[in-house]
Chain A
Amino acid sequence: MKRVSLVLALAVAAGLSTQPATAQTLKTVKDRGMLSCGVSQGLPGFSAPDDKGNWTGLDVDVCRAVAAAIFNDPTKVKFVPLSAKDRFTALQSGEIDVLSRNTTWTLSRDTSLGANFTGVTYYDGQGFLVKKSLKVNSALELNSASVCVQTGTTTEQNLADYFKGNNMKYEVIAFATADETVKAYESGRCDVYTTDVSGLYAERLKLANPADHAVLPEVISKEPLGPMVRHGDDQWFDLVKWVLFAMVDAEELGITQKNVDDMAKSDKPELKRAFGTDGNLGEQLGLTKDWVIRIVKAVGNYGESFDRNVGAGSKLGIARGLNQLWNKGGIQYAPPIR
């Protein structure tokens, strides 16, 4: 019933508030002393609580970085777990300041939801997970299969396009949360579970015998995942956008959690600009001069966060692939801090 209350909140916010919600989000966040961040209901590697109840993950790190840049304290974040279909309503109604919940950037979402994507944290694509015992080696062998999917996602539409495009029949069973979807797949209701490939690797860890399940080689869609903010507050939009850019630029400049203090003494002009010893770039964003130092100290650069959460240093062990920096064979690219 969470969603009904969200919709009511939206209706009340839209219907009764006398001034439009274009208010300064940064000021609201500072007054509140907390950043309110919408995340998933538990997707290992992206946003999930660890055994001590602390939220961790790549999407979580984006919010922690924003909090670090504002408050110099990455713990000043309230995480709001949202299902796929509740997420946009929560952002529209003002319940959260940032939505950082493995959300695919599409044209219709960018234009009709009253929200903007601030960048791409992870370049993903949709894939299929099947039981190895079915002896299926390609998604093209899935004719007449039953497919479990989480409702309210781009996944549902890509699935329809893919099977129609390849003249294959299928049966779709759509569930409200990822957990219910995986449970139905595990109980044998479906032959196939489909979501973004990163999600498949993450959800596979939750299965009883992860080794009995295989991800098929086909990637059937482009799924650039990124954070979202509400329309109408350009300062806040710039701030969230540049926090992510700063993480990527920090990796490119070789600034890491460990060496950030040494690097801060450097004489290199691009480092001096990034660290705020030259100019006032951070203040132009509404932050302090040392905003990049705060971010890197809190969550590390983009590469460190990737490795720790989804890459080689994590249980998921996903290769950098497209998410490698542009000068190392990937497509992660951030505009320069100057």
Chain B
Amino acid sequence: MTIEPRPPPLQLVARLRRALGGGAGWGGFALQILFVAALVWIGYEIVANARANLESQRITSGFGFLSNTAGFDVSQNLIPYSGSDSYTRVFWVGLLNTLLVAIIGIFFATVIGFLVGLGRLSPNWLLSRISGGYVELVRNLPVLFQILFWYLAVLGVLPNPRQSISLFGSFFLSNRGLVIPKPIAAAGLEPFALAILTAIVAAWLLRYYARRQLFESGRLITVWPYAVGLLIGLPLLASLVFGAPVTFEVPELKGFNFSGGSRVIPEFVALTLALSIYTAAFIAEIVRAGIQSVHQGQMEAGASLGLTRGSTLRLIVVPQALRVILPPLTNQYLNLTKNSSLAVAIGYPDLFSVFAGTTLSQTGQAIEIIAITMGVYLLISLVTSAIMSFYGWRIGRSLRA
């Protein structure tokens, strides 16, 4: 432990002066107050002037429209929605559709990106060239073009519903999307869920025990076969004892389309696919740069300890590389989320399409709706950044420890 004399705490007034005025003292403080006042005044003038002008042209303004009936339908809604619901409901439907694409897209982009990034560094000539080719091809084509390509490619290949490709008579693939049996809760659901929960907790405890053993006595215990056994065995046992957790509603072809079952619309598939593949190319480069930023000696040290290449990467290199990877990775996540607003080109009902598109043109209240939409995208981005910063802080903490 080092012992340093702590500086005496500043007096309150001095602290305030330093916080507000910086080095310039009270004069700087006054200047800042003036600056803020000027900003507030300009903002107020703009809002007041806009209100007056909208009123004089008799353009409706305000947020009253949000409770009006929307009167149009949406092709994918995660919460119950019909045309007789309000514009507020439309907003939520659109927002959830945007978040769905963003979350699933981020997941796949990360997985593909890491694989390609590691592949590019692989000593295997073929693998590294294929990964390099993927990155150069994908990141140099415009994303809108890629979305349209996947949409038209997906649609062009698939048959119409009457000739749909059927798997086991219960999965149907056609140009209306993928129709799958819809799970409906049955009597065995609660014991089943309980069994899964128990298995997860038990597996986690096993891992904890194994790590303790490793650190305290240096004994390496392989636990993953037991964990997998628990995770599969317990729920299986529960469903054998208490009956099946869910029954399935099998889709049927009726008239033009399938009735029953759940459906994944092709717009969603095309958009998620395009955004994942596009963003993955950038993530791959970030991962490569991150790993190359870790000193080569770390790899050699791992090898001299007798670790395999995979173990060295997983245990030594990647954790250090993550510190470099995370900030630009956050950027890519934000880009993917914002790029999802290109959905409007292929008719996927995201927030930008149903709210800043349809709702805007039906109500004509451009300023309000664009303001709300901007606010929402800003909020999504800030929350994503915050989560990533928190993760980065945790990694930094454990590396310092």
Contact = CB atoms under 8 A, between A and B. Distances in A.
Nearest to B255: A144
A172 B46 contact: no
B304 interface: no
A177 B257 CA distance: 25
B152 A187 contact: yes
A88 B364 contact: yes
A153 B72 CA distance: 10
Given A164-B83, A191-B256, A152 B362 contact: yes
Prevailing SS type, chain A contact patch: mixed
A7 B361 CA distance: 12
B142 to A, nearest CB: 13
Interface string A169-192: 011111110001000100111010
B228 interface: no
A231 interface: yes
B54 interface: yes
Given A92-B364, A109-B364, A145-B257, A22 B60 contact: no
Contacts of B370: 4, 7, 11
B71 A188 contact: no
Contact of A114 (B47, B50, B54): B54
Nearest to B254: A144
B257 A146 contact: yes
Interface in B166-193: 175-176
A156 B75 contact: no
Given A144-B256, A151-B353, A189-B175, A160 B347 contact: no
Interface stretch (A13-21, A45-53, A253-261, A296-304): A13-21
Interface residues of B, number: 51
B50 A14 contact: yes
A157 B71 CA distance: 5
B198 interface: no
Nearest to A177: B345
B367 to A, nearest CB: 6
A322 interface: no
A146 B179 CA distance: 14
Nearest to B359: A152
A124 B361 CA distance: 20
Contact of B360 (A85, A142, A172): A85
A174 B54 contact: no
A92 B59 contact: yes
B308 interface: no
Interface in B66-118: 71-75, 82-84
B132 interface: no
A22 B175 contact: no
A70 to B, nearest CB: 23
A145 B74 contact: no
Contacts of B60: 111-114
Nearest to A145: B256
Interface string A1-45: 000101100110111111011100000000000000000000000
A81 to B, nearest CB: 16
Nearest to A187: B155
B49 interface: yes
Interface string A65-90: 00000000000000000001111110
Contacts of B59: 92, 112-114, 231
A314 interface: no
Contact of B57 (A92, A148, A156, A161): A92
Contacts of B236: none
19 contacts: A11-B50, A11-B370, A14-B49, A15-B53, A88-B366, A145-B257, A151-B353, A152-B361, A156-B71, A156-B73, A157-B71, A161-B83, A171-B75, A171-B257, A172-B72, A176-B353, A189-B266, A230-B57, A232-B57
Interface of B: 46-47, 49-50, 52-54, 56-60, 71-75, 82-84, 152, 155-156, 160, 175-176, 254-257, 259, 266-267, 344-347, 349, 353-354, 357-358, 360-367, 370
Interface of A: 4, 6-7, 10-11, 13-18, 20-22, 84-89, 92, 109, 111-114, 134, 142-146, 148, 151-153, 156-157, 159-161, 164, 170-176, 180, 184, 187-189, 191, 230-232
The 4 closest A-B pairs by CB, nearest first: A152-B361, A114-B59, A85-B361, A160-B83
